[in-house]
Structures are given as structure tokens and as C-alpha cells.
Chain A
Amino acid sequence: MLKKGVNFITVGVLALQGAFREHINSIKKCGANAQEIKFPEQLKNIDGLIIPGGESTTINKLIKKYNFKIYLDDFYNSGKVIYGTCAGLILIAKKVINEDFGLGYIDIEVERNSYGRQIDSFEEYISLEFDSGKKFKAIFIRAPRIINAGPEVDILSKINNNIILARQKNVLVSTFHPELQDDTRIHEYFLKMIKNHKKV
């Protein structure tokens, strides 16, 4: 567990709806600071942002209602690190099939609820490209699927030919929910991305 050298990092978790408390707990477990983001001005005070799982339609409506977009664009353009899980991935993708949302921070095309309804939700042990240790138990809940990924997207994990964890520069996405697990390796990787960005 990465406890050292991250206590100066503050991660914001978008707290409009969904599993934001779980991400805050995971970040704190890694030794960094975490705070809820309910208003766009709060983005100024943080080093990295997590957009959590929840209902993407609901979170999208609240992002619009509270004028988050220009602040999020500034945050992204400044090169600060953003991590989207499940609904969060959908919200920051370049293209979402049958929907008009997608902030366009990562060059992927996504289909919502692509594996089916709740009865098709599943758990699977996956390999992480950046960690040769034991497999990671991934929780997929009404998960989206990455249908296409652009050439600049690095694939960090796949199952059955589906990309489930990916990165493009300072943007990280997963179609599953590491915040529902005690295993914090993906949050640690995210914190390392922030550390590297702060050094530059």
C-alpha cells in the first residue's frame, strides 16, 4: 500500500450522485486526502478528480444544471488527472452510443448497459498491465463497454477482448468498480499519475 509521499495530494470526488463515499474511503486508505465536490468552484483546490459510478443520466443532468462543463474543461486542459469509473467513464468518453453526453476527455466510444441488465452484472478476476502481482477482483454492475478506442489510448486490462481499464495521458477509466473492493491497487496507480503530473 502506497502510504508514503501522497499525503500532500488532495483528490476530489464528484459528489452529485452515486458511490462517491467509497472512492473517498479508498483514497484515504492509500494515505492521500479526499473531499467531496458538489460545486464547480471546488475543482480549483484539488490535484486529481474522480467521477464515480452512479446513474450516468442523473449525474449528466446535474453536471449541466450546475454548469460544471467549463470548469471541468479547464481542469482537463491544465493536464490534471481525471479518473472515471463506470458512469464516470461514460461521462468523460468522446462518444456514447444513443446519448448526447460525453465530455470527450478520452478517445473511446462507449455503449451503456452493454452486457445487459442487472442479472447480467458479474465479477471477474482480471490482470493489471502495471502490476504483476495477484489478480484483481473486478465488479461489473450494469457495466458499459468500450466499443472502440483511439490509437493514443493505452490498454491496461482486458477480458474476452473487451477493454475494461484504459488510459490516455492524464485520463484513466475503468468499466468496473475498484471502490467496492478493499484492494486499492488501481487507486494507487491513479495517485502515482497525480504524483508524476505534480513533478512536471
Chain B
Amino acid sequence: MEKGTLKLKTGLAEMLKGGVIMDVTTVEQAKIAEEAGAVSVMALERIPADIRAAGGVARMTDPEIILKIMNAVTIPVMAKCRIGHFAEAQILEAIGIDYIDESEVLTPADEKYHVNKWDFKVPFVCGATNLGEALRRIGEGAAMIRTKGEAGTGNVVEAVRHMRTIRDEIKKVASLPKEELMTVAKEMGAPYELVLNVHETGKLPVVNFSAGGISTPADAALIMQLGADGIFVGSGIFKSENPMKMAKAIVEATTHFNNPEILAKVSKGLGNAMYGMELSKIPKEELLSVRGW
């Protein structure tokens, strides 16, 4: 019997496909998410919009809060560690978390290196804004990728940019003659074997969800039509006027992302979505998606 293999790590992500992973901060929110049909919840002390508002250093959530949420739901529970903070990751593995998100939403602990995810039995999801970054994370052992978007803004524009960038780069790599791949690997800063894999399969070697700014069923459908395998909704649910209704609507929109009649039906009467921020008004040093190397 073998445990902690890459197949088991990527396999769980395969099972989450076509689903919505929701940020929650309390047992009550976790139960709402499960009841609404979330495939998993991300246990947090604060949702990204509040992390953004609070400023200061954002760290791993208190394990007690995470454990309470783990005990309250039957769906898998994820939690975030800071970029490069392998001790936080060890703690999350020790409490039996189902997936670790090495996340730019928290303040990075290392300005140069990410966690060596091969050291862990628990799977990791990592953020990426382009193909090179995604393949570097996979090279470090990530079993799932999450396009970053700009978390806590309620603005989907960065999520769209990152999805389109990765999709276009995959198409390019797939169409190039083989002799150009080593140079592409060098320019992207990505392992050659993984570039070759993308060239041969025409897709990322792991599941790719989309995150950061998705706040309505229409946002979810847009990002799914751009090729995401599923979505993360952070602040979009519990910063909206009617979280249960919004959560259910986003779940249905993710399943029926290419069916406009259903999208129209589930989009009706949801109340106010979360407040959305214009990205050009956010100071550059406060942008989260540029974190990660």
C-alpha cells in the first residue's frame, strides 16, 4: 500500500473539477458552503477582502479554527500557508488538512524560494499568472494550479488575464517545433520536461482552477468558458448580500457554464454582489498577484 503519491495528490484535484471551492472563516459559513454545494472549503481567519483592508502581515490561520471547520463538514478542507513557509505547511499537514494552498494572499515568508512540496504527503495548490510560473510550481511538487487573479477585489479582470495568458502560452508551446522547446523553457524559467509534456498533451499536467475576483455566477461562467477546470470564490460569497443564494447560484453556474438560459435563471434576484474595486486605484505595492517567484 502506498500513500502520498503524486497520483493521489493530483487525483483529489481531478475529483474537485467542475466545482466551487469557497473561502470560509467560521463553522457557520463552512456549513452554508457545504449546503450550497461547494466541493471544498478554504478555512481562513479572514477572507481576502478583509486581509486587504486590515493590512499588516497575514499569516497561517490558527489551527484551532481550521480544526473546528474540518470537524463541521464532510467535504475536503484546504488551508493557506505563506509562500516559502514550510513550517506552516508542516503544521497544516500535522493537523490532517486535505490540501495546502501556498498562497500569495498571505504575506510571503521567503522572497526567493517556494516550499519544496515533494517533501509532503499532503497535496499543494499554488498560484500562477503565466505558464512558466505554473510549471515552476509543478516542478516543485504542486499537484494543482490556481490562476491568481487579484484576490479580495471583486474584480474579475486579472483572473481573465491570467487564464487567457496560460491558455495562449499552452497553445503556443503545443504548436512549436520540438527544437524550439529548450529555448522556450529557458525563457519561461520552466523545467524542460514539463514544457515537453505541455507540447505533447496540449494542456497543463495538473488541474487548473481559477481564483481572484470571481463574484457572480456570470463571472464563474466566463472563467469556465475560458477553460478553467473549476473555481475558487473567496470574498465573493460572504461579502455579498445573500451568501447562501449567491453560493448556490455560483455552483449551478459552474456546472452549466455554457448554458445561457440556466445562467440567466440563477443570476436573477441575488441581491448585491460584493463591492468591486477598480484595479488602477490600488497602489502597486498592495497588489497580491505579483507575489511568487
A57 engages B34 (CB within 8 Å): yes
CB neighbours (8 Å) of A104 from chain B are none
Any B CB within 8 A of the CB of A40? no
Chain B 107-122, CB within 8 Å of chain A: the 1/0 string? 0000000000000011
Q: How far is the CA of A119 from the CA of B124 in the complex (A)?
A: 12
The stretch of A1-9, A18-26, A73-81, A186-194 in contact with B is A18-26
Q: How far is the CA of A122 from the CA of B11 in the complex (A)?
A: 11
Q: How far is the CA of A55 from the CA of B8 in the complex (A)?
A: 16
Interface size on A, residues (CB 8 A): 35
Chain B 6-20, CB within 8 Å of chain A: the 1/0 string? 011001101111110
Q: How many A-B residue pairs have CB under 8 A?
A: 111
Any B CB within 8 A of the CB of A120? yes
User: In the assembled complex, how far is the CB of residue B253 from the closest CB belonging to chain A, in whole angstroms?
Assistant: 12
B18 engages A118 (CB within 8 Å): no
Chain B 67-107, CB within 8 Å of chain A: the 1/0 string? 00010001110000000000000000100111100000000
- Interface size on B, as a range, is 35 or more
Chain A 116-130, CB within 8 Å of chain B: the 1/0 string? 111111111000000
Among the listed B3, B5, B18, B97, which residue makes an inter-chain contact with A16, where contact means beta carbons less than 8 Å apart? B18
A124 engages B1 (CB within 8 Å): yes
CB neighbours (8 Å) of B17 from chain A are 17-19, 21, 54
* With known contacts A65-B252, A118-B99, A121-B3, A55–B11 Cβ distance under 8 A: no
B2 engages A122 (CB within 8 Å): yes
* With known contacts A17-B19, A139-B11, A55–B3 Cβ distance under 8 A: no
CB neighbours (8 Å) of B14 from chain A are 19, 22, 53, 180
Interface residues of A in 1-46 (CB under 8 A from B): 15-22, 38
A-B contact pairs, 20 of them (CB 8 A): A18-B19, A19-B15, A38-B259, A54-B19, A54-B39, A55-B19, A55-B39, A55-B75, A58-B39, A61-B37, A86-B15, A112-B74, A117-B70, A117-B97, A118-B76, A122-B3, A123-B7, A139-B11, A142-B76, A142-B98
Interface residues, chain B, with chain A CB atoms under 8 Å away: 1-5, 7-8, 11-12, 14-19, 34, 37-40, 70, 74-76, 93, 96-99, 121-123, 251-252, 254-256, 259
